[in-house]
Amino acid sequence: MLLAQLNFKGKMYEVNLHSPIDLSIPLKNGSENPNAFHIPNPLFEPIRVGDFVGSVAMGSGANCENLHINAHGNGTHTECIGHITEERISINKTLQSFHFFAQVISVEPNQLENGDWQIPLSGIKNQLMEGIEAVIVRTLPNTSDKLNKIYSGNNPCYFEPALCSFLAENGVQHLLTDLPSVDREEDAGAMAAHKAFWQYPHSPRLKATISEMVFVPNEVKDGLYFLNLQIASFESDASPSKPILYPLS
């Protein structure tokens, strides 16, 4: 058993690094994935160069696939402020620390007068731990259909911008959610919740990230955890990601 001792706000915790909890949704070829914003499904196909086909099943000595994906619509991903800036800013240069104390918070959405569902500030405001670095918001009810849910065209739940402002003002650097976006599916480009969390453009938080379409299993209790937030080294505004939680004792 590999154990580590960690200090959070003057209290010592023990983390078992052999007990990871993967919050990412596996990215597959085809339609068996969550889908948002009408983005095409991932396509994994063997490379073809002359007579060579990168498939052992088709007679080659090795498998070699081209992967056609869009991080924002195909599954678990982490994005940086470059998602909303004219300037090109990459997640690879933004996220350069990968371990954080994180709090899991379960929240029931509120229904607005226009029929939309929204995660309100009131659902989190009185629960947030002081000094927490990352917040993982699990929406209720929490069902396995999130693993391959079609969000496109269905106006899924989103965050109240005031909640994102509150998290930013309290020093939360990393926001993770099981929703496809913190903003409304169609908002005429306002991106109000993204801008509130990144405090853009008045005071941009260049090291802050948002991860969307995570999945937090029901057996994971609300509370304090140790988070390892993993990305691919993409020089793009977002990357498929693999957030890993470790229980603390």
DSSP-derived secondary structure for 209-233: EEEES----TTSPSEEEEEEEEE--
Q: Is residue 22 part of a domain?
A: yes
Q: Is residue 176 part of a domain?
A: yes
Mean pLDDT of 32-50: 97
Q: How many CB atoms lie within 10 A of CB 157?
A: 22
pLDDT in tens, 141-185: 999 999 999 999 999 999 999 999 999 999 999 999 999 999 999
- Number of domains composing the chain: 1
CA distance 171 to 128: 11
Strands 77-79 and 238-247: antiparallel
Mean pLDDT of 76-91: 98
Share of the chain above pLDDT 90, in %: 98
CA distances from 32 to 25, 55, 150, 237 (A): 11, 21, 10, 25
Is 80 exceeded by the pLDDT of residue 70?
yes
> For residue 3, what pLDDT is reported?
77
3-state secondary structure 116-172: CEEECHHHCCCCCCCCCCEEEEEECCCCHHHHCCECCCCCCCEECHHHHHHHHHCCC
Q: Is residue 92 part of a domain?
A: yes
Strands 99-107 and 134-139: parallel
Domain of 121, CATH number, reads 3.50.30.50
Mean pLDDT of 237-241: 98
Q: Is residue 43 part of a domain?
A: no
pLDDT in tens, 3-37: 789 999 999 999 989 999 999 999 999 999 999 99
Q: 138 lies in which domain range?
A: 3-27+73-247
Write down the residue that tokens 């008045």 correspond to. 202
> For residue 12, what pLDDT is reported?
95
Quick check: 158 and 130 in contact, CB under 8 A?
no
* Two structure tokens written together for 7: 């200090």
Q: Is residue 155 part of a domain?
A: yes
> For residue 45, what pLDDT is reported?
97
pLDDT bracket for residue 1 (50, 70, 90): low
Mean pLDDT of 135-144: 97
pTM of the model: 0.96
Q: Is residue 125 part of a domain?
A: yes
Q: Which residue has the higher pLDDT, 228 or 2?
A: 228
pLDDT in tens, 223-232: 999 999 999 9
Q: Is residue 42 part of a domain?
A: no
Q: Is residue 67 part of a domain?
A: no
